[in-house]
Amino acid sequence: MSDIFEENSPENGENLLPQAEEIPLVETRFRVNGESQKRFQHKIHAVLIAAVVVGAVFALAYIVLTTLNGETLGGNLFVVSETLLYVLLLCGAVPLGGGISLLFVLRKNVANAERTDAENHYRFFADHVLVAVTQNGEPMGQVKCYYKSFAKVRENRDYFLLYPTSSTVYPVLKFALTENEREKLRAVLPLKK
C-alpha cells in the first residue's frame, strides 16, 4: 500500500467515498428578461419621472424669473436675487438632467435583458444560497453567498430581495414558491422587519 492511500484510508478517519450532495431546503429559478426588468424597476422608473417633472418645474421657474428680472411690472421694478436664480437653476438642472440620464440607463437595461436569455437558479441551504447563472442556455458561473454576509435581505409583496452587496440584488419571485417554501426562506434568511 502506498503512503498516500494509507493517509486517506478509512482507518485514518477519512471516507474514501464521495459525500452525498447536500439537499437544498428550497430550489427555484428566476428568468431575467425585459419583462422582469420592467416589473422590477417600475418604482425606480416612477421616481425618475417625478424627478424629471420637478426638475422641469424648477427650470421653467428659473427661465421665467430670469426673463422678468429687471423688468417693470405694474410700475414696479421686478428684481430677483442672483442666489435665488442659481438655486432654482441647480434645483432644476440636477433632477432634470439626472432623471433623463437614468431613464436612458433603465431603458438600456431592459433592452439588454430582452436580447439575452438569462436565468438565475437558486438553491437555498440552512446557512447559504448557491446562485447559478445561465445565459442563452450556457452556464456563466455560480456564486455561494452566506446569509450572514449579505448587505441586506428584504421581502415585499412579490419578491425576496437578496443583496450580497449594496449595489447587487438577486430577486426571488415569491409566486414561484409554495407557502411552505416561503416559510422555510423566512426561517433562514436574515429579513429586516
Confidence band of 193 (pLDDT split at 50, 70, 90): low
Based on the fold, state whether residues 101 and 51 are members of the same structural domain. yes
Boundary residue ending a domain (100, 115, 130): 115
The strands making up 138-146's β-sheet, listed across from edge to edge, are 26-32, 118-124, 128-135, 138-146
Among the listed ranges 8-12, 93-97, 175-179, which one has the minimum average pLDDT value?
8-12
Based on the fold, state whether residues 109 and 122 are members of the same structural domain. no
Query: pLDDT digits over 104-146, tens only?
Result: 998 998 888 788 888 999 999 999 999 999 988 899 999 999 9
Boundary residue ending a domain (83, 115, 147): 115
Query: pLDDT digits over 70-104, tens only?
Result: 887 777 888 888 899 999 999 999 999 999 999 99
Of residues 183 and 32, the one with the higher pLDDT is 183
Based on the fold, state whether residues 159 and 177 are members of the same structural domain. yes
Q: Which of 30, 72, 24, 16 lies closest to 162, judged by CA? A: 30
Based on the fold, state whether residues 121 and 156 are members of the same structural domain. yes
DSSP-derived secondary structure letter, 190: -
Please provide the average confidence, as pLDDT, over all residues in the chain: 85
Q: Using CA of residue 136, residue 138, residue 142, residue 147, what is the dihedral sign?
A: positive
User: Cell numbers at residue 144, please?
Assistant: 455561494
User: Cell numbers 422555510 label which residue?
Assistant: 184
Determine the Cα–Cα distance for residues 58 and 96; give it in Å rounded to an integer: 9
